[in-house]
């Protein structure tokens, strides 16, 4: 019975201690939740108490006589020293320092403040004839340092160890400088509770950072189960994409949401904070590091020149404008059909120019590339020297459903813009092309290849304008891209739709693609077809699976019927290919840039090609879709359609015609 009694007594005392501790924590929590002015008043009161205690403790230690407490002169001395010391502490910024982030500067302020307070004590004692022993000021200084500095250190450690931390438990991957900064940013937040670090550096394993332990990645699954963690914060902004891809590949099977902090460049220039946590970038999944651009090639056709971008409001066109602006052109002409898109990019670029202090005249011009006289008038009026032609219809199914407009915009829009450039004596003309122009199976790809043939034919004529074209694959985040679609579908709970289980695509980030377009344009000699190194092609279904798992969900399938989000295959869309290519043949040569190659391909003379274009123009004018299809097939583009004519107007006319044949007229 005695043993049982002892057990219950110990348990009672333990429970009481826990209750008392929780009460103390609640009290401290209420203190820390006070507004800043009230916190300063609390600090003033606490420091006043400690300074008084330090003074009397020094006297008691030195004199070993409690009767000193009744000495009126000593009370007078401390009453004078105390307000002077507090004012000095305030002047030194001690009460402006945030206790959670107290560093060396605050400690220096405490040391200086205590030193001056001690000197004040000596002077006041001398003039007040208080007869204080000479060692008392030294003892007073020691007690003051311990009381004032030590109290702050203790409170800071309590806060750092997470006194009653709230929020969702998370793991920080990366215990370096960025990880520690992230932890500091999240300590005040009630949204996340970082309870563990994970790092690949063996030397950091077992260490403690601000009360948080650092573990090996090998036990991350155990850590996740321990706290039912649903998120991992990736704090490695300076790591290479290959390194980040390796980490994401390791974390992917855990089906846990991966969030990341902004890139190091954004953190350095102040546009982002460590606390600005976002979803993991898709380019990290590709694992392909961008090559630093060559500044000489970037500026060659832009610096101090008049530059014009057609389709300036599109995903590629707008990024081209951003990159061009950084190279300080004399004027930047934004040519765009969409009023809203033009307004948006004009406003953004003007704000950027003001922020960077750039003296660039930005000219928002509304117009269509299908109006040659308008394009020529703009080029001649502003003396355009370089043109980046990004205006195009590029959505494959939409162009299949609107054949005439696709041909008009992509083929004749390029023709009219190129002829306007020749008339306006433009120096360089760069066409933004696509990998879908290679052995096309759809109208969009065919029209882009025909646009390339336009420039190749014109470049052989005697004109001063230098034409070249740059061919690349899909860009991440562009309009119509699968990535934002997948994100939306995952956020809505699925299903994620993929057209075909075997479909693959090349991917590149928009900034990298735009920089390479500019650099390729600077290397063109005339009629060049530049091909960008897109890396390895990506299987779209694998990309969908990665995005689902890294969003914290399981893929639902026959093998895993309890999964969260299913992947559904909708079938190839009209004109869609399983595999994209960048080269028509194998004849390709390198350039001075490691990511840019030159394709040597067959072309038509202007005399031959102009006849084809005249016939195509007439067929478009007559809305003769059969003739358009015939011309596209006979032009040497490699067009091999997988579907019939999918134009919606054409199909409706065919239905109306069939319906009219079934009507029987009984009236003679």
Residues 6+ apart with CB under 8 A from 137: 58, 118, 121, 122, 125
Write down the residue that tokens 């344009």 correspond to: 521
Provide the CA 347 distance to its chain's centre, in angstroms: 21
Torsion of CA 173, 178, 179, 181, to 10 degrees: -160
Q: Which of 394, 436, 448, 577 is catalytic?
A: 436
The reply to whether omega before 495 is within 30° of 0 (cis) is yes
Q: Residue 46 is encoded by which pair of tokens?
A: 């606490």
d(CA 491, CA 162): 32
Residues 8 and 341: their CA atoms lie apart, in Å, by: 74
Strand partners, 468: 430, 528
Instruction: Find all residues with CB under 8 Å of 2, minimum gap 6, and list them.
Output: none
Where does residue 252 rank: exposed (0-12), middle (13-18), buried (19+ CB within 10 A)? middle
Annotation says 354 is catalytic:
no
- For 99, 157, 641, the CA distances from 164, given in Å and listed in that order, are 17, 13, 65
Based on DSSP, count helices (H) and strands (E) in the chain, helices before strands: 25, 23
* Per-position DSSP letters for 330-343, written without gaps between them: SEEEEEES-HHHHH
Q: Which residue has the tokens 């030193």?
A: 115
Distance CA 168, CA 259 (A): 13
C-alpha 644, offset from chain centre: 41
Phi, psi of 86 (to 5 degrees): -65, -40
With contact defined as beta carbons under 8 Å apart, do 467 and 527 qualify?
A: yes
CA distances from 275 to 177, 178, 180, 261 (A): 14, 11, 12, 7
Q: Is 594 exposed, middle or buried (0-12, 13-18, 19+ CB in 10 A)?
A: exposed
Contact call for residues 521 and 428 (beta carbons, < 8 A)? yes
C-alpha 151/C-alpha 315 separation (Å) is: 56
* Residues facing 589 on adjacent strands: 598
- Triad 474, 484, 563: Cα angle to 5°: 115
Dig out the tokens for 509 from the structure: 């980030």
**Distance between CA atoms of residues 1 and 7, nearest Å:** 10
Burial class (CB in 10 A: 0-12, 13-18, 19+), 596: buried
Q: What are residue 588's phi and psi, to 5 degrees?
A: -140, 140
Catalytic residues: 436
């Amino acid at each position: 019975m005695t043993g049982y009694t002892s057990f219950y007594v110990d348990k009672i005392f333990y429970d009481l201690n826990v209750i008392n501790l929780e009460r103390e924590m609640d009290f401290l929590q209420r203190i820390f939740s006070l507004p800043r002015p009230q916190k300063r008043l609390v600090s003033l009161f606490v420091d006043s108490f400690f300074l008084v205690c330090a003074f009397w403790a020094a006297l008691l230690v030195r004199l070993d006589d409690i009767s000193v407490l009744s000495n009126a002169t000593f009370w007078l001395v401390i009453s004078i020293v105390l307000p002077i010391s507090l004012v000095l502490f305030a002047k030194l910024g001690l009460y402006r320092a945030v206790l959670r982030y107290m560093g060396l500067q605050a400690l220096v302020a405490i040391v200086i403040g205590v030193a001056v307070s001690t000197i004040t004590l000596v002077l006041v004692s001398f003039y007040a004839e208080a007869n204080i022993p000479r060692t008392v000021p030294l003892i007073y200084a020691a007690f003051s340092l311990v009381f004032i500095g030590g109290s702050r250190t203790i409170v800071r450690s309590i806060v750092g160890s997470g006194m009653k931390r709230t929020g969702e438990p998370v793991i920080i991957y990366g215990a370096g400088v960025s990880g520690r900064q992230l932890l500091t940013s999240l300590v005040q937040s009630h949204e996340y509770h970082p309870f563990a670090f994970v790092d690949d550096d063996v030397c950091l394993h077992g260490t403690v950072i601000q009360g948080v332990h650092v573990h090996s990645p090998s036990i991350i699954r155990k850590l996740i189960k321990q706290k039912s963690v649903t998120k991992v914060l990736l704090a490695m902004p300076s790591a290479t994409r290959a390194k980040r891809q390796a980490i994401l590949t390791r974390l992917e099977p855990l089906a846990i949401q991966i969030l990341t902090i902004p890139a190091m460049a954004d953190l350095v220039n102040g546009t982002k904070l460590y606390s600005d946590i976002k979803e993991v970038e898709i380019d990290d999944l590709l694992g392909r590091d961008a090559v630093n651009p060559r500044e000489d090639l970037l500026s060659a056709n832009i610096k101090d020149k008049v530059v014009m971008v057609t389709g300036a409001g599109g995903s590629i066109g707008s990024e081209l404008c951003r990159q061009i602006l950084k190279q300080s052109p004399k004027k930047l002409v934004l040519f765009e059909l969409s009023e809203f898109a033009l307004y948006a990019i004009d406003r953004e670029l003007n704000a950027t120019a003001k922020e960077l202090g750039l003296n660039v005249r930005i000219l928002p011009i509304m117009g269509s590339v299908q109006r040659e006289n308008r394009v020529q008038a703009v080029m001649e009026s502003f003396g355009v020297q370089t043109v980046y032609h990004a205006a195009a219809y590029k959505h494959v199914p939409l162009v299949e459903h609107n054949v005439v407009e696709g041909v008009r915009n992509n083929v004749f829009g390029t023709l009219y813009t190129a002829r306007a450039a020749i008339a306006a004596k433009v120096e360089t003309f760069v066409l933004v092309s696509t990998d879908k122009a290679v052995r096309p199976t759809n109208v969009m790809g065919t029209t882009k290849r025909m646009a390339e043939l336009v420039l190749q034919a014109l470049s052989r004529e005697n004109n001063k304008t230098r034409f070249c074209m740059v061919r690349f694959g899909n860009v991440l985040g562009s309009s119509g891209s699968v990535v934002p679609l997948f994100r939306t579908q995952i956020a809505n709970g699925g299903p994620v739709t993929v057209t075909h289980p075997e479909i693959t695509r090349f991917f590149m980030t928009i900034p990298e693609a735009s920089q390479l377009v500019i650099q390729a344009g600077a290397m063109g000699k005339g009629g060049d077809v530049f091909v960008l190194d897109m890396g390895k092609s990506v299987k779209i279904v694998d990309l969908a699976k990665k995005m689902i798992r890294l969003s914290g969900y399981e893929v639902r399938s026959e093998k895993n019927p309890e999964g969260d989000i299913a992947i559904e295959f909708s079938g190839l869309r009209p004109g869609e290919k399983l595999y994209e290519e960048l080269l028509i043949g194998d004849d390709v040569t390198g350039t001075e840039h490691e990511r840019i190659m030159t394709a040597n391909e067959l072309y038509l003379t202007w005399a031959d090609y102009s006849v084809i274009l005249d016939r195509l123009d007439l067929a478009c004018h007559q809305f003769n879709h059969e003739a358009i299809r015939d011309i596209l097939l006979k032009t040497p583009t490699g067009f091999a359609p997988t579907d019939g004519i999918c134009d919606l107007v054409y199909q409706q006319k065919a239905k109306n015609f069939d319906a009219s044949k079934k009507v029987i007229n009984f009236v003679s």
